[in-house]
Structure 1
Amino acid sequence: MTAGSSALHTEGPRCVCSPETGADDRLGVRARMGAEPSAVRTLRRRVRSWLEEIGADEEAAESILLVVDEAVTNAVEHACPGKKCDVELVVGSRACGRGLAVMVADTGEWQPPGDPGFRGRGLGMIRRIAERSAIETSYEGTTVRMCWAEPAVPGVH
């Protein structure tokens, strides 16, 4: 990686919206934990529980869970080779408008995609499932942002 930071844009406009959360868990999910394999399951359960609580459409919820799993898994498997780092997940209403936003950030190091072989198609999947998405990299880590302007998620404004 070169000095400074860069943004790897996915198809469509860059998602600059951030999730809006607060002390009330009904507003979203906010969690930070060690980037270890157990984080994938733990964070998926928290997001699933919140989506069920707000009455999210089952198909929309499964799509959101799929991209959350992918982004968290990437942080766990690729961002922190040989060192300890954290992964942060924030899910909630878009702070800049209607819809839903997801942010997954790690304190690791960006690893450029290699030969995908039988794996390595997660970034393409995120591009297809999220209405807008962006990947931002810096020396402090990588942040994946995904937005949906009008998902079938009641209770998300």
Structure 2
Amino acid sequence: MARVALEVTEPREFELRLPSEAGRLIVLRRRLEDFLSAHQVPDDDAFDLVMAVSEAAANAVEHPVDPAEPWITVTASFQPEAVLVTVRDTGGWRPSGDAGFRGRGLALIGALTELSVHRSAEGTEVVLRRPLSRS
């Protein structure tokens, strides 16, 4: 049985910890869409954010080596005129190989958001920042 934990930390913050399973990413997308809609994030920005976060979360599910926990954590908050999202896993970084048609996830995320990746012994943290369009 898979469990999903959603915690409302503040009205303008979001945190979701979910099992590291591809089938659970729909929950993330729906909750994030609801959060962004509730804060009146413009549709184009919300679409791009959900796409980029979904890709980052899919990477966090698929790519970690020997994760310490079978969970990923996604947080989102508002900055002045931007949304900041962090996706964390607890595994090591898998060396890149011949990706063929794969391996373009970070490029997609970087095209939709300002992207930074932080790797450490505790896992990988992907930070996405999306400046918001003027409504």
Instruction: Using structure 2 for the length normalisation, give the TM-score.
Output: 0.83
Residue 52 of structure 1 deviates from its aligned partner by 1.5
Q: Is the 8 A contact 2:73 2:89 kept in 1?
A: yes
Partner of 1:118 in structure 2? Answer: 101
Partner of 2:3 in structure 1? Answer: none
Match of 1:106 among 84, 89, 105: 89
Residue 22 of structure 1 deviates from its aligned partner by 6.2
Q: Is the 8 A contact 2:68 2:90 kept in 1?
A: no
Q: Deviation above 4 Å: which 4+ runs of structure 1?
A: 80-84
Alpha-carbon RMSD: 2.3
User: Is the counterpart of residue 51 in structure 1 residue 36 in structure 2?
Assistant: yes
Q: Is the 8 A contact 1:86 1:108 kept in 2?
A: no
For these two proteins, the number of residue pairs brought into alignment is: 129
**Cα distance in 2, alignment partners of residues 99 and 66 from structure 1:** 16
Q: Point out where structure 2 has 5 or more consecutive residues left out of the alignment.
A: 1-6
**Cα distance in 2, alignment partners of residues 86 and 43 from structure 1:** 13
Query: Which one-letter code corresponds to 1:31 in the other structure?
Result: L
Return the structure number with greater relative CO, CA threshold 8 A, min gap 6.
Answer: 1
SS of match in other structure, 1:23: strand
Q: Is the 8 A contact 1:54 1:153 kept in 2?
A: no
Percent pairwise identity: 29
Partner of 2:4 in structure 1? Answer: none
Residue 84 of structure 1 deviates from its aligned partner by 5.1
Residue 136 of structure 1 deviates from its aligned partner by 0.6
Query: Which one-letter code corresponds to 2:132 in the other structure?
Result: P
Residue 116 of structure 1 deviates from its aligned partner by 2.1
SS of match in other structure, 2:63: helix
Match of 2:54 among 69, 75, 79: 69
Check 1:138–1:118 CA distance in 2 against 1; reply closer, same or farther (3 A cut).
same
Per-residue CA deviations over 1:47-106 (Å, capped at 9, x if unaligned) read 011111122211111100011110000011111568852200001113xx4411010000
Instruction: Using structure 1 for the length normalisation, give the TM-score.
Output: 0.72
1:78-97 to 2 correspondences below 5 Å: 78-80=63-65, 85-94=70-79, 97=80
